[in-house]
């Protein structure tokens, strides 16, 4: 955590504590303002505080007494007032505020009148029905709280792929560079590309594992060594993420990689398949089954296959199965599809500029798309209801469209579509009237608000958007945020059937915070005959790099280039768009 995030958290916690203690709103707001100033600061505030304490006070939003706290924190690592305030509350009470939808006012009542002191007591009291006697705690509200609590508890133990994959890649790069390392790869759920990761599993092939293990547990970002053996070690990083490393001999590489990539359930299917063919599969290889219970590798048995994954699958009568499909969802019972790859993506069809909440101009976004070899980019700024995202009024939209078309005329070698990411309002109406939408080249329709409505309302809402003839794509259809909010839960089958019929594509939003649609829904959408659209929803140039997370999610859903509108030849795409 950078010191700014740390400082912001301390001030947010003080503000929360004051609210829970019923102190005056003015002080609470002042503290929140400091927290936001710390979040937004580009310099490292602790470093500034140490070199020039006066400079902190001159930052917008930070008053004299808050500045003193930051200076104190920079010097000592503590904030006396923070500690004093927190000591007035039960130790787990602030955690309760992390339940989506629970604010300080509700939690205060639950604490003072309901005896809730932490997540465990909240859970127990929800189960026993005790909280129903509190003011404004109807059955519906309580049920929502219980669902959100369950969601928080499953969501928070796992790390998003967007955090874990770059980390795993960096660690593999370091391990691969060590002397004597023949192969190095990540395995486990990271290699399978799951949207969240429990722990990171790394694998190396080497004849001299000890120095590799020592280097691994001695890495700079290691906070705790959980285990340090000669072929197996485990560490916890400063971020809290656990990383396991195994070392095997190069002859076993394929078998070990297969075993530690999983999933556990996929491995079970492979082992059963091996047994039926009178063979035994383990992390050392695929061996003939001679009825002897002693593990074959300990008896010097020669494996049928072990060095590569492909040789093992082949000996089992299977094609090599991409890791993204290894989830025991029937992947061994059907031909392996040619899954979509990043290189197949030819265009970005959902992005934002400074006209709404993006960080770059139209020219910059178009230039970046061109630099990346795309044949087209659709500029889709937010619509008028998205006030927090600086959504465009009709007048501003029409001006913006003219600007986008002007850029389109200036720049050669890439098609630029003037579009909009138009809000799907809670009742399914779109945020611009049809005659305005008719003037656009491209319309992404997305839900942004009312994401807690019931399934029936959500289904009607999205069906209505799909039925609009101007809509090309439904953007991040559920509106979920991984580890944040569950999003809409409509009758997906009904929606996919309607979208397939109407020729509306479903988005896989590649932002690792969203991955929306998720893998299983991608599979269902394809089965219903829908086309998918993988977009980064770029708000800046770096965001184009998020594409791979969308592609991984597509692969997990069995997506091929055939069902992805971003991969079609331009003529096919353009004809589809106009139809």
Among the listed residues 59, 16, 20, 65, the one whose alpha carbon sits nearest the alpha carbon of residue 39: 59
Q: Tell me how far, at minimum, the Cβ of 69 lies from ligand DGT, in Å.
A: 39
Stretch binding ligand DGT (CB under 6 A), from 78-86, 256-264, 314-322, 555-563: 256-264
DSSP state of 252: G
User: Residue 311 to residues 285, 314, 377: CA-CA distances in angstroms?
Assistant: 10, 5, 42
Burial 432-452 (b: 16+ CB within 10 A, else e): beeebbeebbbbbbbbbeebb
Q: Give whichever of 69 and 539 is closer to Zn ion, judged by the CB atom.
A: 539
Of residues 147 and 283, the one with the C-beta less far from ligand DGT: 283
Nearer to ligand DGT among residue 201 and residue 348 (C-beta)? 201
Segment interacting with Ca ion (CB under 5 A) among 165-173, 197-205, 388-396, 488-496:
197-205
Task: Residue 263: name its binding partner from Zn ion, Ca ion, ligand DGT, none (Cβ under 5 to 8 Å by kind).
Answer: ligand DGT
Residues 524, 495: Cα–Cα separation, whole Å: 11
Taking CB under 6 A as the criterion, the residue among 148, 189, 206, 233 binding ligand DGT is: 189
Is residue 233 part of the contact set for ligand DGT (CB under 6 A)? Answer: no
C-alpha atoms less than 13 angstroms from C-alpha of 300 in its C-beta half-sphere: 0
Residue nearest to ligand DGT (CB): 262
With contact defined as beta carbons under 8 Å apart, do 380 and 420 qualify?
A: yes
In which region does residue 193 sit, left (phi positive, over 0), alpha (psi from -120 to 50) or beta (all else)?
A: left
Minimum distance from CB of 199 to ligand DGT (Å)? Answer: 5
Q: What is the largest CA-CA distance in the chain?
A: 80
Among the residue ranges 148-156, 367-375, 443-451, 556-564, the one whose residues contact Zn ion (CB under 5 A): 443-451
Phi, psi dihedral angles at 243 (to 5 degrees)? -130, 125
Altogether, the residues listed in the chain come to a count of 579
Can you list the positions of beta strands (E) in 230-284?
232-237, 242-248, 279-282
Q: Are 355 and 380 in contact (CB under 8 A)?
A: no
Peptide bond connecting 408 to the previous residue in cis, omega within 30 degrees of 0: no
Q: Which does 507 bind (CB under 5 to 8 A by kind): Ca ion, ligand DGT, Zn ion, none?
A: none
Residue 447 lies near ligand DGT (rule: CB under 6 A): no
188 binds Ca ion (CB under 5 A): yes
Give the whole-angstrom CA distance, residue 520 versus residue 565: 19
- Going residue by residue from 240 to 279, which x/- string records binding to Ca ion, judged by CB under 5 A? ----x-----------------------------------
CB of 329 to Ca ion, least distance (A): 19
Stretch that binds ligand DGT, among 8-16, 52-60, 259-267, 332-340 (CB under 6 A): 259-267
* Nearest position to Zn ion, beta carbon: 446
Please identify, using beta-carbon distances, which residue of 244 and 516 lies nearer to Ca ion: 244
**Binding track, positions 389-408, relative to Ca ion; x by CB under 5 A:** --------------------
Q: In angstroms, rounded to a whole number, what is the distance separating the alpha carbons of residues 362 and 107?
A: 45
Q: Which does 259 bind (CB under 5 to 8 A by kind): Ca ion, ligand DGT, Zn ion, none?
A: ligand DGT
The answer to whether 416 and 379 have CB atoms below 8 angstroms apart is yes
**Partner interacting with residue 446 (select from Zn ion, ligand DGT, Ca ion, none; CB below 5-8 Å by kind):** Zn ion
Structure tokens at 385: 């209801």
Piece in contact with Zn ion (CB under 5 A), picked from 54-62, 248-256, 445-453, 527-535 = 445-453
For the chain, counts of helices (H) and of strands (E): 24, 16
Contacting ligand DGT within 197-216 (CB under 6 A): 197-199, 201
Host H or E run for residue 572: helix 570-578
Q: Of 244 and 381, which CB lies nearer to Ca ion in the complex structure?
A: 244
Cβ proximity to Zn ion: between 303 and 479 the closer is 479
Residue from the set 13, 19, 195, 201 that interacts with Ca ion by CB under 5 A: 201
Among 282, 344, 385, 446, binds Zn ion (CB under 5 A): 446
When the beta carbons of 172 and 376 are compared against ligand DGT, the nearer one is 172
CA dihedral for 199, 204, 207, 212, sign (positive or negative) = negative
CA-CA distance, 205 to 248, in Å (whole number)?
5
Whether 125 contacts 115, CB under 8 Å: yes
Please choose which of ligand DGT, Ca ion, Zn ion, none residue 313 contacts, taking the beta carbon within 5 to 8 angstroms, the exact cut-off set by kind.
Answer: none
At closest approach, how far in Å is the CB of 237 from ligand DGT?
A: 14
272: CB partners within 8 A, 6+ apart: none
Shortest Cβ distance from residue 163 to ligand DGT (Å)?
13
Residues making contact with Zn ion (CB under 5 A) = 446
Residues making contact with Ca ion (CB under 5 A) = 188-189, 199, 201, 244
Residues making contact with ligand DGT (CB under 6 A) = 188-189, 194, 197-199, 201, 259-260, 262-264, 267
């Amino acid at each position: 955590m950078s010191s700014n995030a740390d400082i912001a958290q301390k001030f947010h916690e003080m503000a929360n504590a004051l609210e829970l203690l019923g102190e005056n709103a003015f002080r609470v707001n002042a503290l929140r303002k400091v927290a936001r100033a710390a979040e937004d600061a580009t310099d490292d505030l602790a470093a500034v505080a140490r070199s020039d304490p006066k400079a902190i006070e001159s930052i917008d939003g930070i008053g004299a007494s808050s500045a003193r706290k930051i200076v104190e924190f920079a010097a000592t690592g503590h904030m006396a007032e923070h500690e004093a305030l927190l000591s007035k509350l039960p130790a787990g009470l602030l955690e309760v505020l992390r339940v989506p939808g629970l604010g300080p006012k509700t939690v205060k009542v639950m604490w003072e009148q309901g005896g809730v002191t932490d997540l465990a007591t909240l859970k127990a009291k929800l189960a026993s029905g005790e909280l129903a006697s509190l003011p404004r705690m109807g059955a519906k509200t309580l049920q929502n709280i219980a669902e959100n609590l369950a969601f928080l508890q499953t969501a928070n133990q796992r790390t998003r792929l967007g955090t874990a994959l770059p980390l795993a890649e960096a660690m593999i790069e370091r391990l691969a560079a060590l002397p004597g390392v023949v192969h190095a790869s990540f395995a486990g759920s990271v290699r399978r590309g799951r949207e969240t990761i429990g722990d990171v599993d790394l694998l190396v092939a080497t004849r001299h594992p000890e120095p590799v293990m020592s280097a691994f547990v001695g890495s700079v970002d290691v906070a705790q060594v959980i285990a340090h053996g000669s072929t197996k070690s485990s560490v916890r990083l400063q971020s809290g993420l656990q990383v396991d490393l195994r070392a095997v001999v190069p002859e076993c590489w394929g078998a070990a990689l297969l075993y530690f990539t999983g999933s556990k359930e996929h491995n079970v299917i492979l082992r059963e398949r091996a047994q039926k063919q009178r063979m035994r599969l383990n992390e050392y290889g695929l061996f003939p089954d001679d009825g002897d219970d002693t593990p074959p590798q300990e008896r010097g048995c020669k494996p049928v296959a072990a060095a590569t994954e492909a040789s093992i699958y082949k000996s089992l009568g299977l094609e090599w199965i991409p890791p993204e499909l290894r989830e025991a969802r029937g992947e061994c019972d059907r031909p392996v599809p040619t899954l979509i790859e990043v290189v197949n993506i030819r265009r970005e069809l959902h992005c934002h500029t400074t006209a709404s909440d993006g960080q770059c101009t139209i020219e910059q976004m178009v230039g970046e798309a061109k630099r990346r070899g795309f044949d087209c980019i659709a500029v889709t700024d937010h619509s008028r209801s998205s006030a927090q995202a600086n959504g465009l009024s009709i007048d501003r939209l029409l001006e913006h469209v003219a600007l986008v078309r002007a850029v389109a005329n200036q720049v050669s070698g890439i098609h630029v579509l003037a579009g909009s990411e138009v809000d799907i309002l809670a009742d399914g109406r779109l945020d611009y009237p049809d005659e305005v939408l008719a003037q656009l080249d491209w319309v992404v329709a997305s839900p942004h608000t009312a994401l807690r409505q019931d399934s029936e309302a959500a289904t009607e809402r999205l069906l209505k958007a799909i039925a609009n003839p101007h809509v090309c794509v439904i953007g991040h259809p559920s509106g979920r945020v991984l580890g944040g909010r569950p999003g809409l839960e409509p009758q997906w089958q009904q929606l996919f059937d309607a979208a397939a019929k109407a020729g509306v594509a479903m988005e896989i939003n590649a932002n690792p915070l969203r991955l929306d649609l998720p893998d299983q829904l991608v599979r269902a959408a394809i089965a219903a005959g829908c086309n998918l659209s993988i977009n980064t929803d770029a708000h800046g140039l770096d965001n184009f790099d998020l594409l791979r997370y969308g592609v991984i999610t597509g692969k997990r859903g069995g997506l091929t280039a055939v069902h992805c509108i971003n991969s079609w030849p331009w003529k096919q795409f353009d004809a589809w768009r106009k139809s």
